[in-house]
Chains A and B, each alone.
Chain A
Amino acid sequence: MRNGFLFVFLFATAAFAQSPKPYTPPKLPWGDPDLQGEWPAFANIPMQRPANFGTRAFLTDEEFAQRAKQAQKQSESDSEEFAPSDGKVNVTINPPGYWQEHGKPDHQASLVVDPPDGRIPALTPEGQAFVKNLRGGLGPGSHFPTKVDSPEDFDDYSRCITRGLVSSMLPTLYNFGNQIMQAPGFVVIRNEMIHETRVIPTDGRPHVGTGLRTYLGDSRGHWEGNTLVVETTNFNTRTGTGGAYFSDEARVTERFTRTGPEDLSYDLTVNDPKTWTKPWTLHMPYHMDKSYVIYEYACHEGNYMMIDALTGARDLEKQGKPTKVDRQQ
Chain B
Amino acid sequence: MKSLFGLSFLALSVTLLCGQTATYKPPRMADGHPNLNGIWEAMNTANWNLLDHPASAGPMWELGAIAAVPAGQGVVEGKVIPYKPEAAAKQKENFKNRRTDDPEAKCYMPGIPRANYMPYPFQIVQTNRDILFVYEYATSNRLINMGKPQEAPSDTWMGTNNGRWEGDTLVIDVTGLNGLAWLDRAGDFASDKVHIVERFTRTGADHLTYTATIEDPSVFTKTWTISMPLYRKVEKDAQLLEFKCTEFAEELLYGKYKKAK
Residues of A near any B CB (own CB < 8 A): 30-32, 184-185, 203-204, 208-214, 222-225, 236
Contacts and interface: CB of A to CB of B under 8 A. Distances in A.
A222 B9 CA distance: 13
Given A31-B5, A32-B9, A210-B52, 10 more contacts: A184-B9, A185-B13, A208-B52, A211-B53, A211-B54, A211-B79, A212-B71, A223-B2, A225-B1, A225-B3
B74 A209 contact: yes
A213 B54 contact: yes
Contact of B54 (A203, A204, A225, A236): A236
A220 to B, nearest CB: 14
- Give the interface size class of chain B: 10 to 19
A212 B54 contact: yes
B53 A212 contact: yes
B73 interface: yes
Nearest to B12: A30
8 contacts: A31-B5, A31-B6, A203-B13, A209-B51, A209-B79, A212-B53, A212-B73, A214-B54
Nearest to B79: A209
Contacts of A185: 13
A223 B53 contact: no
Contact of B52 (A203, A212, A223): A212
Interface in B15-64: 51-55
B10 interface: yes
A76 to B, nearest CB: 43
A214 B55 CA distance: 8
Interface of B: 1-3, 5-6, 9-10, 13, 51-55, 71, 73-74, 79
Nearest to B5: A31
Interface of A is mostly: loop
Given A209-B73, A223-B2, A30 B52 contact: no
Contacts of B53: 211-212
A203 B5 contact: no
B54 A209 contact: no
B150 to A, nearest CB: 40
A236 B51 CA distance: 17
B153 to A, nearest CB: 40
Contacts of A184: 9, 13
A211 B13 CA distance: 30
A223 B6 contact: yes
A55 B13 CA distance: 47
Contacts of A213: 54
The 3 closest A-B pairs by CB, nearest first: A209-B52, A211-B52, A212-B52
Contacts of B52: 208-212
A203 B2 CA distance: 12
Given A185-B13, A209-B52, A211-B79, A223 B3 contact: yes
A189 B51 CA distance: 28
Contacts of A31: 5-6, 9
Contacts of A236: 54
A225 B2 CA distance: 7
B13 A208 contact: no
Contacts of A212: 52-54, 71, 73
A31 B54 CA distance: 35
Nearest to A236: B54
Contacts of B5: 31
B6 A203 contact: no
A201 to B, nearest CB: 12
A32 B6 contact: yes
A145 B63 CA distance: 28
B21 to A, nearest CB: 23
A214 B5 CA distance: 33
A213 B73 CA distance: 11
A211 B10 contact: no
Contacts of B3: 223, 225
A1 to B, nearest CB: 16
A209 B54 CA distance: 10
